[in-house]
């Protein structure tokens, strides 16, 4: 099995005078809004104009990185540690469904990107030439994108590549699956939608 993977070393409604109403924000939504602000700032610094819409509708500027040598930390041999998760990069190409099965066999699931920091970390350690399946799927009977672990898709930052998702018209299994695009330079990875029956590398994630 190891040969298939890269080896790494409430609201206050008081009406009392002088007391302001305070509305709390759900943590996932707050995290998404923080990430959106970061993306807006990056776009402004790159010479663009801020967008009044969400990150899914704005043109994300390329952000370049240096390659990072991953650290195992408390993760299993061959896995990379970042914050509270461990990641495994495959070296074999399989269909999306098979990739998710492989990840479940490790006690995890395909990569779920909760923050821009997590995406940037992954962007620094992947092999540039490969497309990687991630835990993003649009099932025909659902009609919307969802993360495999049940994370609300609308609570996470959105990083579709330009022109994506373009929705495949022909899908034998009635599913459209998400992947990270390959690139020639090391930069923030963006998403593409692809036929789930195609074979690509993949990234597994488990909680540390």
pLDDT band with cut points at 50, 70 and 90 for residue 34: low
Examine residue 177 and state whether it is found in any structural domain, yes or no: yes
Does residue 206 register a pLDDT over 70? yes
Q: What is the CATH number of the domain that holds 139?
A: 3.10.100.10
Based on its alpha-carbon atoms, the radius of gyration of the chain, rounded to whole angstroms, reads 19
Q: Write the secondary structure of 98-133 as one string of H (helix), E (strand) and C (coil).
A: HHHHHHHHCCCEECCCCCHHHHHHHHHHCCCCCCEE
**Residue 149: how many other CB atoms lie within 10 Å:** 14
pLDDT computed for residue 169 by the predictor: 58
The total number of structural domains in the chain stands at 1
Examine residue 182 and state whether it is found in any structural domain, yes or no: yes
Examine residue 196 and state whether it is found in any structural domain, yes or no: yes
Examine residue 74 and state whether it is found in any structural domain, yes or no: yes
Which pLDDT tens digit goes with each residue over 129-144?
A: 999 999 999 987 777 9
Looking at per-residue pLDDT, the higher value among 32 and 111 belongs to 111
Range of the domain at 105: 65-207
Examine residue 8 and state whether it is found in any structural domain, yes or no: no
Please state whether the predicted TM-score (pTM) of the whole model is above 0.75. Answer: no
End-to-end CA distance of the chain: 20
Does residue 56 register a pLDDT over 50? no
3-class DSSP assignment, residue 13: coil
Examine residue 21 and state whether it is found in any structural domain, yes or no: no
């Amino acid at each position: 099995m190891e040969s298939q993977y890269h080896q790494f070393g409430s609201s206050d409604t008081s009406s009392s005078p002088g007391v302001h109403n305070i509305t709390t924000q759900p943590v996932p939504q707050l995290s998404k809004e923080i990430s959106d602000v970061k993306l807006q700032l990056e776009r402004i610094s790159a010479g663009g104009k801020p967008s009044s819409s969400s990150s899914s509708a704005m043109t994300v500027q390329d952000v370049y990185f240096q390659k990072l040598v991953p650290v195992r930390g408390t993760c299993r041999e061959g896995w990379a540690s970042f914050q509270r998760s461990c990641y495994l990069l495959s070296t074999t190409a399989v269909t999306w469904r098979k990739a998710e099965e492989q990840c479940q066999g490790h006690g995890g699931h395909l990569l779920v990107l909760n923050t821009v920091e997590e995406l940037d970390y992954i962007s620094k350690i992947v092999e540039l030439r490969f497309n990687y399946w991630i835990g993003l799927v649009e099932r025909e009977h659902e009609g919307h994108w969802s993360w495999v672990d049940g994370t609300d898709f609308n609570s996470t930052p959105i990083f579709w590549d330009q022109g994506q998702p373009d929705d495949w018209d022909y899908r034998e299994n009635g599913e459209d699956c998400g992947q990270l695009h390959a690139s020639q330079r090391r930069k923030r990875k963006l998403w593409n939608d692809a036929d789930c029956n195609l074979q690509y590398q993949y990234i597994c994630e488990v909680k540390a």
